Structure 1
Amino acid sequence: MSPHPSWCAGGHRCALGEHRADPVIVALPGLGRVALTRVRAADGREHAEVRLTVALAAAEPHARRQLLALTNHLTHVLQLATRASARPATGVHDGPSA
């Protein structure tokens, strides 16, 4: 196993040749929770692991609409993230545009 990177949480989180950071948790009471974890796989490739928990409406038609909206928004997030990872590294942070 390679040496732990500076962001690696170490301990029991690192297993099967991968390194894992402590998760960043964002919780919005009554709405949901997101846990974002940086991971370096055994082959050296890094990725973000995202676990999302969303409160669904009690009424079935509303819950289905929520799930459809969630699927559409997550598709957009994946497209944005993929586009960003395909850019060549410039060393310059291109933060959000105004």
Structure 2
Amino acid sequence: MNWMILISAGLMEVIMVMALKKTDSFKVKKWTVIWFILSLCSLFLLSIALKTIPLGTAYGVWTGIGAMGSVIVGMLVYKEEVNLLKLILIVCIIVSIIGLKVV
């Protein structure tokens, strides 16, 4: 169950980064409030997952999901450059996350 909570925290991290982009350096109040709420929710879920998942593993998975998801959202939503090296590095993050789960 805590692995699902951790994955949810990572996905919330991706949504939080999307909201961060819309804050315009915290000038847009609506998106700043949304970003703040998402940040708290993501950290709260991470803290729950930390009850049973080792710190290094949980944090690595959480940041990995956030980083990987942000790159994918950047390419799909914000039309950032897609190239083979980015795709290979995303696969490396996925393999690392799986590795942390297995170990």
- TM class, shorter-chain normalised? 0.3 to 0.5
**If each structure's strand is expressed as a fraction of its own residues, which one has the higher value?**
1
- Greater helix share, structure number: 2
Higher relative CO (CA 8 A, sep ≥ 6), structure 1 or 2?
2
Q: TM-score, normalised by structure 2?
A: 0.35
TM-score (norm. length: structure 1)? 0.36
